[in-house]
Amino acid sequence: MTMKLQIKNISGILNESITLSEGVNVIRAPNAIGKTSTINSLKVVTLPEKDLKNHPEFLNDNTNDGSVSVDDENINDDRKIRRYGKELAVIGNPLFDSNGKSELLFAEPDNEIIHETIKGNSIEPFIERFSNVAIYQKINDDGIEPAIKRLKAFYDEGSEAVTKLKSKEKEIENAKSEREKLSKEREKTKPLVEKARAQIKNSGIIQEKNKNKNELIGDISRLSQGLKGKQKQKPLLESELKDAEKQRDEHIKNKSKIQAEQESLSKEKGKYEALQEDLDKQVSKLDDNIATLEQVSRNVDWASTKDCPVCGRPITSSVKNNWHKHLETERKQANAELLKTENRIKEIDNRINDIEDELNKINEIQENINNCNKDLTIIEKQIKFNTKDIEAKTELVNKLKKEIEELEKKSKIDPVLLKAWHEQGTLDENIGELDGRIKELKESYDEISEKAKGLSVLKRKIEFLQKIKEDIKRIITEMKNGVKNKFNSRIKEVYPLLNFKNFDEVFINDSYRIEVVRKGKQQELNRLSTSERVTLGVIVMLAGKEEYLPDFPFFVLDEVTTAYDPTRFKKIIDYISQKTKTKYVIVTAFSPTGDKIKIEKSI
């Protein structure tokens, strides 16, 4: 069984055919002859587009198009790459399906497992990516955490209101009890005041004026309380305004840059949309051509008819088949281009949306500033108006006091009774003032209680989201541990089969570091030689391949051989070729001489 690779314009290879046979394939050559290019060719037919597009070096520097075709018992197809700005465009799906786990197939120094193991680091980022936990992490970081933060801010505001509410309740209670005390004292003055009233001329008028005066005193008290509140609120609003302006200025620095990007993206989108339209037409035309060809095929007996019924030229079945194949290939390429264009449009749309979010944020801040300014103007007006109102009402109170005094002077009255009359007047003034204060306190109480409403709902929401956050954390841990455990149970199976005598046990520990047991003692990576670490990295990769991709046809060992001791290295190669379903073990090896790649069966 063999696998033939036809490589065109991949890295250093311009046009070469390489045949791999079942078992071990040692690609031997001096440097810069094409060992890595061959491995890159295998990557071209295996890696998903997202992993290929950032590797422009996979394409030969002197060309814009390259391809790798594979011919073996299951596959007879090719995959093309094309230069696309600083990236690569890939036409077609991978020919070998690694189910997104291609990291387990290419053992080379750049491979994350090997790289981190050599450095003695944890392989947690790899396990995280491999466990597909990113989606949960993103939901938590972009959605849950900020939502909890926002709810907590609302909750704190509400809690503050509840505290204020309690103190307002106390204030109202105190004012009411003081009022009751004053009312009792007033009751005591009543009999003497009754007598005084009988002696005073115009007592009705005086009583009326006193009533008006006391009501005005109540109003003044209420207004003064309100004024105090507004005077307190003003500096807070001014500080909020200052903060918002600062925030806006910071965002505005980037505004023109972002707008320029938005404009350029819109232009780019327009170009891609035009391209999309062209490609749509091209695909539809190819569809029509294929349909016509199929229709003609159905109506023509290819064995007996040698002329095309449409154009009248001689035509054979094989010409028809080639024509069909050519049209299908063209359609496949056009569809791939179309998909790529659609993806780019999606990417542009996403970025444009992000930019719009950013610009909207500036608008939101500006709106906040406008609202703050409005509130400040209103408060300033209210302060001015209340101050004037208080002044006018105080003037009126003083005028009434004078008028009452004049009227009292005109009445000859017993001094004892007059004293009681005045005492009652003072008490009435104080009661009026308290009434005004109680009224203002109640108004303020109602205002605050609005803010406190819904606090219990907010609390439930926060508690619910905190549980969700914990659940997501648990899911992430379980997923990571699940992957870790799968790797560990495979390592347990694979390691004894390698016939190494170095370690009693190899495993990934709870911190996602590779650890070994040697002579009954647990040892972390920093106690091991580089050669041993590379070996362990490869063992973890092999265990992963056996767990997730047991039927995948090849495994590559590129440039890691130099760090191995040859006996251990041979054992690994023997294990893969003899005890796994991997058909092709591909190993690169340096040769000091020669000008061509040689494929050998042993190291």
Partner 1 sequence: MKNENTQTSDNENVTFIQTLVKKSKESKVTSDVVLEMLEEKIK
Residues found near partner 1 in the complex (CB under 8 A): 135-136, 138-139, 142-144, 146-147, 149-151, 457, 460-461, 464-465, 467-468, 471-472, 475
DSSP code string of 222-235: HHHHHHHHHHHHHH
Write down the least CB distance from residue 468 to partner 1, Å. Answer: 6
In this structure, are strands 554-557 and 505-508 parallel, antiparallel, or unpaired?
unpaired
Contact between 581 and 1 (Cβ < 8 Å): no
Write down the least CB distance from residue 116 to partner 1, Å. Answer: 28
Angle, alpha carbons 602-68-570 (nearest 5°): 15
Question: Given the complex with partner 1, which of 147 and 497 has the nearer CB atom?
Answer: 147
Question: Given the complex with partner 1, which of 181 and 346 has the nearer CB atom?
Answer: 346
Reduce the DSSP state of residue 59 to 3 states and report it: strand
Write down the least CB distance from residue 451 to partner 1, Å. Answer: 18
Contact between 167 and 175 (Cβ < 8 Å): no
Q: Which two tokens stand for residue 310?
A: 């449409």
Write down the least CB distance from residue 267 to partner 1, Å. Answer: 24
H/E segment holding residue 17: strand 13-21
Question: Given the complex with partner 1, which of 383 and 465 has the nearer CB atom?
Answer: 465
Question: Given the complex with partner 1, which of 138 and 581 has the nearer CB atom?
Answer: 138
Single-letter residue type at 498: L
Question: Given the complex with partner 1, which of 42 and 133 has the nearer CB atom?
Answer: 133
Question: Given the complex with partner 1, which of 26 and 476 has the nearer CB atom?
Answer: 476
Question: Given the complex with partner 1, which of 349 and 395 has the nearer CB atom?
Answer: 349
Write down the least CB distance from residue 510 to partner 1, Å. Answer: 25
Contact between 7 and 68 (Cβ < 8 Å): yes
Encode 33-65: b = buried (16+ Cβ within 10 Å), e = exposed.
Answer: bbbbbbbbbbbbbbbebeebbebeebbbeeeee
Write down the least CB distance from residue 446 to partner 1, Å. Answer: 23
Write down the least CB distance from residue 157 to partner 1, Å. Answer: 16
Residue that the structure tokens 């170009």 belong to: 271
Write down the least CB distance from residue 150 to partner 1, Å. Answer: 6
User: What does the alpha-carbon distance between residue 90 and residue 65 come to, in Å, rounded to a whole number?
Assistant: 10
Burial status of residue 402 (CB atoms within 10 A of its CB: 0-12, 13-18, 19 or more): exposed
Question: Given the complex with partner 1, which of 25 and 140 has the nearer CB atom?
Answer: 140
CB neighbours (10 Å) of residue 334? 21
Write down the least CB distance from residue 48 to partner 1, Å. Answer: 17
Reduce the DSSP state of residue 506 to 3 states and report it: strand
Residue that the structure tokens 């041979």 belong to: 570
Angle, alpha carbons 504-552-69 (nearest 5°): 140
Question: Given the complex with partner 1, which of 75 and 465 has the nearer CB atom?
Answer: 465
Question: Given the complex with partner 1, which of 385 and 464 has the nearer CB atom?
Answer: 464
Reduce the DSSP state of residue 1 to 3 states and report it: coil
Question: Given the complex with partner 1, which of 464 and 590 has the nearer CB atom?
Answer: 464
Question: Given the complex with partner 1, which of 61 and 349 has the nearer CB atom?
Answer: 349
**503 vs 242, 483, 506, 542, 562, CA distance in Å?**
66, 23, 7, 17, 21
Reduce the DSSP state of residue 78 to 3 states and report it: strand
Q: Which two tokens stand for residue 107?
A: 């053992």
Write down the least CB distance from residue 294 to partner 1, Å. Answer: 37
Question: Given the complex with partner 1, which of 336 and 476 has the nearer CB atom?
Answer: 476
Write down the least CB distance from residue 158 to partner 1, Å. Answer: 15
DSSP classification of residue 564: S
Question: Given the complex with partner 1, which of 322 and 466 has the nearer CB atom?
Answer: 466
In this structure, are strands 23-29 and 584-590 parallel, antiparallel, or unpaired?
parallel
Question: Given the complex with partner 1, which of 138 and 442 has the nearer CB atom?
Answer: 138
Quote the strand ranges of 22-111, DSSP E. Answer: 23-29, 65-71, 76-84, 87-91, 106-107
Give the chain's radius of gyration (CA, Å).
44
Query: Max Cα separation, the chain?
Result: 145
Write down the least CB distance from residue 462 to partner 1, Å. Answer: 10
Single-letter residue type at 289: N
CB neighbours (10 Å) of residue 471? 12
Write down the least CB distance from residue 464 to partner 1, Å. Answer: 6
**312 vs 286, 290, 305, 315, 499, CA distance in Å?**
22, 19, 11, 9, 72
Single-letter residue type at 425: G
Write down the least CB distance from residue 146 to partner 1, Å. Answer: 4
Single-letter residue type at 241: L
Write down the least CB distance from residue 217 to partner 1, Å. Answer: 47
Residue 103's nearest CA partner among 536, 555, 489 is: 555
Q: Where are the alpha helices (H) located in 453-589, listed in sequence order?
A: 455-497, 530-548, 566-579
